[in-house]
Amino acid sequence: MKKLLVPILILLLIFTSVSFGKTKLIFTVHWSDYQVEGVKDEKGNLVFKGLKQYVEEYMKTHPDVEIEIRSVAFDELLKKIIIDHTAGLPSDIYVLYSLWGVELVRSGILDEPSADVQNAVRLLFVKPAVEGATIDGKIWGVPIEVDNYALVYNKKLLASAGFKKPPRTWSELVSMAAKLTKRNPDGSVAYYGFAFLAGWDSAVVHPYLALLYSNSGEFLTKDFKECLLDRKEAIEALDAELELFRKGGTDTSASVWNFPAGKVAMMIMAPWYETSLKIGFKDKYAETVGVAPIPYLKKPATCGYTWFIGVDSASKNKKQAWDFIKWMTIQTMPNGATRMGELMAKNIGAIPPRRSDLDKFPDELNDLYTATFVKELIHTIQEPNVAQGQEIKTILMREIVEAWNGRKTAEQALKDAKKKIDEILKENY
Amino acid sequence: MKKSLENRIGAGYSFLAPAIIFYSIFFLFPVIFSLLVSFKKWNMLIPFTKAPFIGWKNFLDLLKDELFLMSLRNTLLYALLTVSITLTISLFYAIMINKAKFSVFWRFIYFAPVVTPQVAIATIWGYLYNPNNGLLNAILRFFGFKGLNWLTDPSTALFSIILTAIWAGIGGSMLIFTASLKNIPQEYYDAAKIDGATGFKEFWYITLPLLKPTLLFLSATGLIGAWQVFDLPYMLGRNAPAKSVMTVSWYTYETAFQYLRMGRASAGAFLLFVVIFVITLIVLWIFRKGGIKGYE
């Protein structure tokens, strides 16, 4: 027994020294199981790689690094980042919605990337994504996902009402939506011509901003000192939305989530909804779903937002964390694509923000759904990275919903929004 | 003698220690901490000690915030209506079930919503309230009425949530009423019958006064719970204009965890505490006026 004890102890010592010698990185994301573990077929064979497979590949080539993936729900991500950081147990790497960036940067939670990373982002990524990762003039992470909005329509419902093409301008949309809304004999709505979604800030604010930009309007001044929602362009844009309600093309009970059930003819949606539509329409997907640029008021425009990946300033392994990020997002594979781009396009169903990735995945990015979103990147204006961005977005959503419900005119709703938003801007700029 | 007494006191405190430590860590400390937070501008991202002290500003900002005032109004309406209607209906059901056959079965049926998670209740009622495919509008239309936008129309949204809360809350109160009714001695009713009392007089002069302690308990706990309500309005009312459905707890949650305004959120929580405290005192005063009669 004593003879065995010595080799066991030596083995234990080697094992622990190897483990302790490794640099451990914690990588927190908000992705679901298949996005982390990979997409598998019925037999359990891997069809599309998930984050885990890329991390394993990295750990094989970098045996001194161990990466643990932690996944939390989207609603919990910001809370987790803040609480972990405050508790002194930060994740080394995390993905971030650009709207949260300002508070994290101002509080010193995000680590500033090196000049080579900042230059690479400026040089290699699409404009809205670069703007998304830029806070107070500096780049604070590498964009991993850029989202914008387009008009998603039900080809069959449009055809059954005699429309061969989707609307090109907003006034066409208003008149088509009214004709596409069908009621049952008891008065209930059988089909909505158009649907918003009242309770979800992005589904209210982003389509409105798209319309505002298409009317040559602006949301905030460049220096974030004033909200510009009381201007003529802004009021006209909301009035254009209200016209949809007045003409009977939609109401506050309509929901974008009813589109996959074939009950909604048109909606404004983001690229990541493709999988839900495929599941909803099954083999009828290709013949039913169509995508077009958002119908405009004066000129084509859409609104966008970005997710970027960054490092916590309290991480003890910042260099290793940035090395991994560079390997995932900036270094390319032999086919010229980045690993993050491949993960986004093939698994997560989002548009990769790196320019060179956009033509590497034609099956995914040039299909009937995503192609329009990719083309619309040139008309995409990034949601502003402003302090208290979430609060400002919610205020605007609530005032727009007040107008939708007929409790305020477009002018009054936007005047009230401006008043509250200006108070927040005054507090922060 | 003195040493023995000291030993006994020491032993007493050592028995109390786990509870005292537990309450100090999980109740007293958070309460004191959040009171301190309510006087600071703190977003959790910087150390608490570096957060600037801003005096009563958080409280004053709250009282100027129309959304907070509307959330107070909504919560008051929610609390008064849910508690009063729930207690009335559950007392009626308890009396009926007390006399009915298969009372265990009926108790089970009415109690089922109490053990159902609020999220499941909200989801199911969300389907019932659906303006186009929901059961409630189908019934209205069957009788020739126009369907309602239950959860999105500002004039009906809060009342729809209150209706769901009443449905979900009846079982719990009813069960307690049933237990209290069983404890009222039958002799009182027998004596009243001899004196010629009718069913209503029995209820008014015997049942109701003897249920006063139960009514006090259910009113006080019901009001405290109703003032803290979060889940049902949050789940069912998200598509309605916020001013028509938002409650104080929802406002506080949003202010703290979405806007990271921990100071203002803590101030809101303290104002809520004061309101609950005052209302509970009023309820106690109303019920104790004239004394609470027991029946043993």
- Over residues B144-157, the pLDDT tens digits come to 888 899 998 989 99
Cα–Cα dist A386/A413, whole Å: 21
CA distance B141 to chain A (A): 6
CA distance B177 to chain A (A): 39
How much is the average pLDDT of B29-34? 91
What is the strand order of the sheet A182-183 is part of?
A182-183, A189-195, A264-269, A150-154, A289-292
For residue A344, give both structure tokens: 């986004």
Q: Is residue B239 part of a domain?
A: yes
Q: Indicate which of B57, B152, B238 best probes the interface with A, i.e. most A CBs within 10 Å of its own CB.
A: B152
Residues A212 and A237: beta-carbon distance below 8 Å: yes
How many other C-beta atoms are found inside a 10 Å radius of the C-beta of residue B143? 6
Indicate whether this complex's ipTM tops 0.90. Answer: no
Q: Is residue B51 part of a domain?
A: no
Work out the pLDDT band at B296, boundaries 50, 70, 90.
Answer: very low
For residue A275, give both structure tokens: 């999988």
Q: What is the CATH number of the domain that holds B136?
A: 1.10.3720.10
Instruction: List, in order, residues 6 or more apart from B262 with CB less than 8 Å away.
Output: B37, B40, B42, B43, B44, B256
CB under 8 Å, gap of 24 or more: what pairs does B80-86 form?
B81/B159, B81/B162, B81/B166, B82/B162, B82/B165, B82/B166, B82/B169, B82/B222, B82/B226, B83/B219, B83/B222, B83/B223, B83/B226, B85/B162, B85/B166, B86/B165, B86/B166, B86/B169, B86/B170, B86/B173, B86/B222
Cα–Cα dist A356/B47, whole Å: 42
Residues A368 and A153: beta-carbon distance below 8 Å: no
Q: Is residue B10 part of a domain?
A: no
Domain that holds residue B156: 56-295
Residues B235 and B161: beta-carbon distance below 8 Å: no
Q: Indicate which of B132, B151, B245, B246 best probes the interface with A, i.e. most A CBs within 10 Å of its own CB.
A: B132
B121-173 per-position pLDDT tens digit: 999 999 999 988 899 999 999 898 888 999 989 899 999 999 999 999 999 99
How much is the average pLDDT of B225-230? 93
Work out the pLDDT band at B280, boundaries 50, 70, 90.
Answer: confident
How much is the average pLDDT of B47-75? 94
pTM: 0.88
Can you give the pLDDT at residue A4? 66
**Per the CB < 8 Å rule, is A390 touching B258?**
yes
Cα–Cα dist B277/B296, whole Å: 30
Can you give the pLDDT at residue A5? 67
Q: Is residue B102 part of a domain?
A: yes
Cα–Cα dist A96/A387, whole Å: 15
Per-residue pLDDT of chain A (429 residues; tens, 9 = 90+): 566 666 676 666 555 555 557 899 999 999 999 999 998 888 889 999 999 999 999 999 999 999 999 999 998 999 899 889 888 899 999 999 999 999 999 989 999 999 999 999 999 999 999 999 999 899 999 999 999 999 999 999 999 999 999 999 999 999 999 999 999 888 889 999 999 988 889 999 999 999 999 999 999 999 999 999 999 999 999 999 999 999 999 999 899 999 999 999 999 999 989 988 998 999 999 999 999 999 999 999 999 999 999 999 999 999 999 999 999 999 999 999 999 999 999 998 899 999 999 999 999 999 999 999 999 999 999 999 999 999 999 999 999 999 999 999 999 999 999 999 999 999 999
Q: Is the dihedral of CA A68, A345, A112, A74 positive or negative?
A: negative
Can you give the pLDDT at residue B295? 46
Q: Which residues of B touch A394 (CB under 8 A)?
A: 254, 258-259
Of B44, B46, B132, the CB nearest to A253: B132
What value does the mean pLDDT of chain B take? Answer: 90
Q: Which residues of A touch B44 (CB under 8 A)?
A: 82-83, 86
**Per the CB < 8 Å rule, is B141 touching A401?**
no
Cα–Cα dist A246/B8, whole Å: 79
**Per the CB < 8 Å rule, is A187 touching B147?**
yes
For residue A5, give both structure tokens: 């004890």
Residues B160 and B235: beta-carbon distance below 8 Å: no
Closest CA to A206 of A381, A399, A409, A387: A381
For residue A266, give both structure tokens: 């048109």
For residue A245, give both structure tokens: 């309600």
User: Residue A169 class from Cβ within 10 Å (0-12 exposed, 13-18 middle, 19+ buried)?
Assistant: middle
Cα dist from A183 to A190, A259, A295, B134, B239, whole Å: 5, 16, 25, 15, 22
Interface residues of chain B, partner chain A, Cβ below 8 Å: 43-46, 67, 130-133, 137, 141, 146-147, 149, 152-154, 238-243, 254, 257-261
Q: From start to end of A244-395, where are the E strands?
A: 264-269, 289-292, 302-311, 380-382
CA dihedral B215, B221, B222, B223 (to 10 degrees): 110
Q: Is residue B252 part of a domain?
A: yes
Q: Is residue B35 part of a domain?
A: no
Q: Is residue B34 part of a domain?
A: no
Helix B66-99 with B57-64: angle, nearest 10 deg:
70
Cα dist from A369 to A270, A373, B153, whole Å: 10, 8, 34
**Per the CB < 8 Å rule, is B241 touching A398?**
yes
Q: Is residue B9 part of a domain?
A: no
Q: How many domains does chain B have?
A: 1
| Rg (alpha carbons) of chain A, rounded to whole number | 24
CA distance A415 to chain B (A): 15
CA dihedral A194, A198, A203, A209 (to 10 degrees): 90
For residue A128, give both structure tokens: 């809205």
